[in-house]
């Protein structure tokens, strides 16, 4: 204690000086828009640089898995192309229209920042407005849903992760088509909860869950996961625990999907609400 007092007495001028300068710098950095923007940009630039470097290393180390998932994705995409070709052999369109056929536009992106351990998780991807990413686009990782874009800057976007208490999407059981509301209960990053499925529906462990496309954000049929457990929760509904297909702990390459006909759909629906 005495040493501390001695120390304070000896350096009191220096301490007062540092305190006053601290206040002055605080004012300088927060109350002047020019200085403030320089400080903020400096800090942001530093952390962005770090994140980029860490990310580079990580993407190199996980090249093997990425290759595998890309190959798997290729196969499934090829299959979907086949399906599409069949769908669009419809005889009712006589005019050649390149727009009506394409409903979704894909942009691939890399996740550069991610969290799974909070109640409200977000992740950041390296594509932004300049690359055509907009708010309310869906984010999909190798065919299974991951999140929704909630904010864009020029070159980066932030997405609301499925692992966020605010995230809700309409999903259905693939085998029988009954749909409910999918959300995350904040407990385990591998599981989510599907509610609002009535109890007369037959549910089996292992059933595939996919999106319905009702929200106009996610395309129809994007995979969510499989049923891992279900129980009767009061009322007439099941509480179904779903094992998520997306592994949020190693999510890296994602597709951002924009629905070109979303505004059309929403505006039409607005008329009846």
Partner 1 sequence: MINSILRFGLIFILLVLLQVLLLNNIQFSGYVNPYVYIMFILLLPVEFPSWLLLLLSFVTGMIIDFFSGSPGMHTSATVLAGFVRPYVLRIVAPRDGYEPGSDPSMLTYGFRWFLSYTSLIVLVHHTALFYLEVFRFADFFRTMSRVLLSSLFSVIFILLIEYYRRGK
Alpha helices in 62-186 (DSSP H): 63-87, 98-101
Determine the 3-state secondary structure of 212 from DSSP: coil
Contact pick of 11, 26, 93, 100 for partner 1 (by CB under 8 A): 26
Q: Report if residue 16 touches partner 1, rule: CB under 8 A.
A: yes
Q: Which of 8, 11, 24, 54 binds partner 1 (CB under 8 A)?
A: 24
Under 8 Å between Cβ of 224 and 144: yes
Task: Tell me which stretch binds partner 1 (CB under 8 A): 18-26, 62-70, 151-159, 231-239.
Answer: 18-26
Query: Is residue 158 within 8 Å of 122, Cβ to Cβ?
Result: yes
Q: Which is closer to partner 1, CB of 28 or CB of 260?
A: 28
- Residue number, 29 or 260, with CB nearest to partner 1: 29
Q: Is 9 in the site for partner 1 (CB under 8 A)?
A: no
55 exposure class (CB count in 10 Å sphere: 0-12, 13-18, 19+) = middle
Distance of CA 255 to the CA centre of its chain: 10
Closest CB to partner 1 among residues 22, 221:
22
> Does 21 interact with partner 1 (rule: CB under 8 A)?
yes
> Per CB under 8 A, does 74 bind partner 1?
no
Q: Which residues contact 145 (CB under 8 A, 6 or more apart)?
A: 138, 139, 162, 169, 211, 218, 222, 223, 224, 246
> Out of 20, 54, 72, 135, which residue is the one contacting partner 1 (CB under 8 A)?
20
Closest by CA to 68, choosing from 244, 247, 264, 265, is 247
- With binding defined as CB under 8 A, does residue 6 bind partner 1? no
How many distinct helices (H) and strands (E) make up the chain?
6, 12
Residue 267 C-beta: closest distance to partner 1, Å: 48
What are 196's two structure tokens? 């609002």
Query: Is 33 a binder of partner 1 (CB under 8 A)?
Result: no
Out of 8, 23, 43, 165, point to the residue binding partner 1 (CB under 8 A). Answer: 23
> Measured in whole angstroms, how far is the alpha carbon of residue 66 from the centre of its chain?
19
Options 11, 25, 93, 100; binder of partner 1; rule CB under 8 A: 25
| 28 binds partner 1, rule: CB under 8 A | yes
Cβ 256 vs Cβ 149: under 8 Å: yes
Regarding 46 and contact with partner 1 (CB under 8 A), the answer is no
The strand pair at 191-198 and 179-183 is best described as antiparallel
Piece of 10-18, 53-61, 68-76, 87-95 that binds partner 1 (CB under 8 A): 10-18
Residue 106 binds to partner 1 (criterion: CB under 8 A) = no
Question: Residue 115 burial (CB < 10 Å; 0-12/13-18/19+)?
Answer: middle
- Closer of 37 and 204 to partner 1 (Cβ): 37
Binding site for partner 1 (CB under 8 A): 12-13, 16-17, 20-21, 23-29, 31-32, 34-35, 38
């Amino acid at each position: 204690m005495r040493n501390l007092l001695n120390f304070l007495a000896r350096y009191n001028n220096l301490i007062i000086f540092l305190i006053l300068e601290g206040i002055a710098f605080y004012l300088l950095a927060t109350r002047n828009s020019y200085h403030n923007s320089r400080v903020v940009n400096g800090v942001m630039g530093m952390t962005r640089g770090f994140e980029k470097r860490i990310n580079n290393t990580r993407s190199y180390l996980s090249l093997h898995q990425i290759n595998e998932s890309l190959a798997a994705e290729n196969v499934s995409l090829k299959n979907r192309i086949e399906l599409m070709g069949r769908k669009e052999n419809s005889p009712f369109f006589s005019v050649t229209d390149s727009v009506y056929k394409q409903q979704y536009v894909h942009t691939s992106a890399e996740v550069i920042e991610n969290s799974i351990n909070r109640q409200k998780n977000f992740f950041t991807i390296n594509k932004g407005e300049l690359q055509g990413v907009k708010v309310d686009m869906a984010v999909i990782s190798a065919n299974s849903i991951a999140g929704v874009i909630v904010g864009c800057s020029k070159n980066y976007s932030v997405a609301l992760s499925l692992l966020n208490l605010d995230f809700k999407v309409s999903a259905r059981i693939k085998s029988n088509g009954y749909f409910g509301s999918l959300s995350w209960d904040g407990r385990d990053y591998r599981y989510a909860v599907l509610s609002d499925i009535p109890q007369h529906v037959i549910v089996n462990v292992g059933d595939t869950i996919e999106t319905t496309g009702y929200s106009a954000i996610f395309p129809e049929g994007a995979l969510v996961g499989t049923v891992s457990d279900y129980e009767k929760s009061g009322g007439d509904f099941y509480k179904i625990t779903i094992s998520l297909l997306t592994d949020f702990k190693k999510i890296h390459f994602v597709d951002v999907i924009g629905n070109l006909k979303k505004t059309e759909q929403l505006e039409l629906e607005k008329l009846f609400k």
